[in-house]
Amino acid sequence: MSRIVYVNGRFVPFEEATIPIMDRGFLFADGIYEVSAVLDGRLVDNEAHLARLDRSLSEIGIRNPHGIAEWTRLEEELVTRNGLKEGLVYMEVTRGVAERDFAFPPEGTPPTVVMFTQAKTVSANPLAERGAKVITVEDLRWKRRDIKSVALLAQVLAKQQAAAAGVAEAWMHEDGFVTEGGSSTAFIITEDNRIVTRPLSTALLPGITRRAVMRLAEENGLTVEERAFTVAEAQAAAEAFFTSASAFVMPVIEIDGTRVGGGQPGPMTRRLRDLYLEMARAS
Ligand code: PMP
């Protein structure tokens, strides 16, 4: 089956999909993206992702070209056309195509919409069994990290450092505290079983998986504490993990070469991953 992608109202073979060189996403990273997981051929927690897409677009003044129902229909059609059972749907909206000029293009310039799928093992991920190692890097990003902008250069550099170190993720820190992962939300679990993650602010992305995991934890009688934590505290924690739409709940077993929780995925992290998978399969 050939790969089908979506570009501005049309489903086309991947090889035929093109974007003009004057697209502002290409020239200025002037766009927003979103990623939803697909499990058993169905979208996971998708309405929350679409709500965040809407909010990100509105924060930078791009008109959302579709409502939730239309986005969902397009995503589902893309999943079906690609026969996708497990993986993700990527969506991007840019401020459109216009002669290069920093200020917004003329009123009525249509946003560019691109969507594609990626097949990926998200449920039976061997890394979740072994546990992931992470390194820490300075957070080099701008001050509106709550917006899911396609300007990802700082994350590209952080993730390349992680790849060069042979680890799965880079946790970014600022003023001594962990902000979040390059493409994930960072969590630790304290010796007295408190699940700790940084409170939402403009310093980090409001993770959709973060929200779901916090809700599941609370529904199951676990304690969640929203506060910032340092790298040293994370290294000394009972357990650590990160969350994202495609990693779900990923145990962390090493931070900057220091083993966490005896170098094994911890029991509470495993439980949270199971709870999340159960929720995802039921969605
Ligand atoms: N933080 C950053 C910087 C990310 O890129 C991501 C992944 N989109 C996340 C957190 C996790 O967000 P979500 O759970 O919505 O995928």
**pLDDT digits 0-9 by tens, 116-162:** 999 999 999 999 999 999 999 999 999 999 999 999 999 999 999 99
Share of the chain residues as helix, strand and coil, in percent rounded to the nearest 5: 30, 30, 40
pLDDT in the model for residue 66: 98
Q: Which phi and psi angles does 23 have, rounded to 5°?
A: -65, 135
Minimal CA–CA distance to 117: which of 207, 248, 11, 276? 11
What whole-number distance in Å separates Cα of residue 175 and Cα of residue 205? Answer: 18
pLDDT digits (tens, 9 = 90+) for 67-117: 999 999 999 999 999 999 999 999 999 999 999 999 999 999 999 999 999
What whole-number distance in Å separates Cα of residue 216 and Cα of residue 239? Answer: 18
**Cα→Cα distances 170→10, 12, 91, 160, 183, Å:** 36, 35, 24, 9, 8
Q: Is the CB of 141 under 6 A from ligand 1?
A: no
* DSSP characters over 57-85: HHHTT---SS-HHHHHHHHHHHHHHTT-S
For 209, half-sphere exposure in the C-beta direction (CA atoms, 13 angstrom radius) is 27
Asked whether the predicted pLDDT for residue 39 surpasses 80, the reply is yes
Q: Is the CB of 210 under 6 A from ligand 1?
A: yes
Q: Which DSSP category does 106 fall into?
A: P
User: What is the three-class DSSP state of 186?
Assistant: strand
Going by alpha carbons, the residue nearest to atom 3 of ligand 1 is 183
Q: Which of 56, 150, 185, 210 to mutate to test the pocket of ligand 1 (most atoms within 8 A of CB)?
A: 185
Strand partners, 224: 195
120, 126, 131, 135 alpha-carbon torsion, rounded to 10°: -50
Residue tagged active-site, from 120, 133, 143, 148:
148
What whole-number distance in Å separates Cα of residue 5 and Cα of residue 111? Answer: 17
User: What is the three-class DSSP state of 24?
Assistant: helix
What whole-number distance in Å separates Cα of residue 268 and Cα of residue 182? Answer: 23
pLDDT digits (tens, 9 = 90+) for 13-36: 999 999 999 999 999 999 999 999
Q: What is the pTM of this model?
A: 0.98
Asked whether the predicted pLDDT for residue 1 surpasses 90, the reply is no
Going by alpha carbons, the residue nearest to atom 2 of ligand 1 is 183
Asked whether the predicted pLDDT for residue 244 surpasses 80, the reply is yes
Going by alpha carbons, the residue nearest to atom 12 of ligand 1 is 207
Q: Is the CB of 213 under 6 A from ligand 1?
A: no
* Ligand 1 centre distance from Cα of residue 48 (Å): 13
pLDDT digits (tens, 9 = 90+) for 43-72: 999 999 999 999 999 999 999 999 999 999
Annotated catalytic residue 148: yes
What whole-number distance in Å separates Cα of residue 35 and Cα of residue 244? Answer: 9
Q: Which phi and psi angles does 33 have, rounded to 5°?
A: -135, 170
* Ligand 1 centre distance from Cα of residue 99 (Å): 32
* Ligand 1 centre distance from Cα of residue 179 (Å): 12
Going by alpha carbons, the residue nearest to atom 1 of ligand 1 is 184
Crossing angle of the two packed helices 267-282 and 208-219, in degrees rounded to 10: 110
pLDDT in the model for residue 93: 99
pLDDT in the model for residue 283: 78
Q: Residue 180 CA: which ligand 1 atom is closest?
A: 1
Going by alpha carbons, the residue nearest to atom 4 of ligand 1 is 183
Which residue's structure tokens are 């190692």?
133
Minimal CA–CA distance to 122: which of 272, 252, 280? 280
* Cβ(212)–Cβ(276) below 8 Å: yes
Q: Is the CB of 197 under 6 A from ligand 1?
A: no
The pair of three-digit structure tokens given for residue 99, joined into one six-digit string: 């002669």
